[in-house]
C-alpha cells in the first residue's frame, strides 16, 4: 500500500513540473493543460479519491484516479487506481458534457475466505473445521462513465460524473462504481 501511495504522489509531482507551450509569445502566459480534482462525495462512502487529468487536445484528456479506503475493516475495496480517457463536447476547452472509458486496478480484501477442512459425520451431517483466513488480492476491470464539467474564468472546475465498470477474474466485488462530485483547479 505504501508503494501505491508513493507511486501516485510521484506521478502527481512529476505532472506539476510538466511544461506546456505558451499561448502567444507576447503574453508568455502558460497554457492550462493540467487539472487536479478532489472528489468531495467519495469520503462519505469511506473511499476518498483524487484525480489528475492532462488535456491532449481542446476536447480530449487522459487522467488517473487514485482512491484509498479509510475503513479497512468494513470495505472490500482497499484501493483503486483508475486510468481514463475522456472526450468533451463543450464549447470551452475540456468542459461541458463528456464520455469516459476507463480501466481499473483494484486491491480487494475477502473477509469470507475460509480454509475449509470439512468432513462428513453420519449423525450430524457435514462438519467443518473451517477457520476464517481473510486474503487480499488484485483484480482489474474496464468501465465507462459520463458527466458534465463546469469551468470558471479563473480555472476552478466543478464536475458531476456517473458510471460503472466490471471487474474480471475470481473477485469478491463484481463491479466498481464511478461516481463523482468533484472540485478542482487547472494549472
- pLDDT tens for 34-47 read 999 999 999 888 88
> Does the pLDDT at position 121 exceed 50?
no
Task: Give the phi and the psi of residue 66 in degrees, each rounded to 5.
Answer: -125, 130
Task: Give the phi and the psi of residue 163 in degrees, each rounded to 5.
Answer: 175, -175
Beta bridge partners of 53: 35, 63
Q: If DSSP codes are grouped into helix, strand and coil, which group holds residue 100?
A: strand
- Residue range 70-85: average pLDDT? 84
> Does the pLDDT at position 165 exceed 50?
yes
> Does the pLDDT at position 167 exceed 80?
yes
108 — pLDDT class (breaks 50, 70, 90): confident
63 — pLDDT class (breaks 50, 70, 90): very high
182 half-sphere exposure, CB direction, 13 A CA radius: 29
Burial category of 73 from C-beta neighbours within 10 Å (exposed 0-12, middle 13-18, buried 19 and up): exposed
Residue 44: what pLDDT?
87
Cα Rg, the chain, nearest whole Å: 21
> Does the pLDDT at position 9 exceed 90?
no
In this structure, what C-alpha cell is assigned to residue 135? 486474503
Ranges 19-23, 41-45, 93-97: which has the least confidence: 19-23
How many angstroms separate the CA atoms of 27 and 170, rounded?
A: 56
- Decide yes or no: CATH 2.40.160 for domain 2-9+32-182: yes
Higher-confidence residue of 22 and 8: namely: 8
Q: What is the pTM of this model?
A: 0.73
Domain ranges for the chain, please list them.
Answer: 2-9+32-182
Residue 12: what pLDDT?
58
> Does the pLDDT at position 113 exceed 90?
no
> Does the pLDDT at position 55 exceed 70?
yes
> Does the pLDDT at position 122 exceed 60?
no
- Residue range 167-182: average pLDDT? 88
> Does the pLDDT at position 135 exceed 80?
no
> Does the pLDDT at position 107 exceed 80?
yes
Dihedral sign, Cα of residue 40, residue 67, residue 159, residue 52: positive
How many angstroms separate the CA atoms of 147 and 102, rounded?
A: 14
- Residue range 25-36: average pLDDT? 69
Amino acid at each position: 500500500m505504501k508503494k501505491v501511495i508513493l507511486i501516485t504522489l510521484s506521478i502527481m509531482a512529476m505532472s506539476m513540473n510538466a511544461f506546456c507551450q505558451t499561448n502567444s509569445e507576447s503574453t508568455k502566459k502558460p497554457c492550462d493543460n493540467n487539472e487536479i480534482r478532489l472528489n468531495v462525495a467519495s469520503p462519505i462512502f469511506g473511499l476518498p479519491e483524487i484525480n489528475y487529468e492532462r488535456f491532449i487536445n481542446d476536447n480530449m484528456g487522459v487522467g488517473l484516479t487514485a482512491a484509498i479506503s479509510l475503513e479497512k475493516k468494513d470495505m472490500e475495496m482497499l484501493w483503486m487506481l483508475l486510468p481514463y480517457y475522456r472526450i468533451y463536447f463543450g464549447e470551452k476547452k475540456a468542459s461541458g458534457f463528456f464520455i469516459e472509458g476507463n480501466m481499473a486496478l483494484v486491491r480487494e480484501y475477502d473477509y469470507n475466505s475460509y480454509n475449509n477442512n470439512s468432513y462428513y459425520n453420519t449423525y450430524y451431517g457435514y462438519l467443518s473445521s473451517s477457520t476464517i483466513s481473510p486474503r487480499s488480492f488484485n483484480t482489474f476491470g474496464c468501465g465507462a462513465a459520463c458527466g458534465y464539467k463546469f469551468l470558471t474564468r479563473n480555472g476552478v472546475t466543478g464536475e458531476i460524473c456517473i458510471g460503472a465498470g466490471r471487474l474480471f477474474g475470481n473477485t469478491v466485488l463484481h463491479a466498481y462504481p464511478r461516481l463523482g462530485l468533484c472540485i478542482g483547479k487547472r494549472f
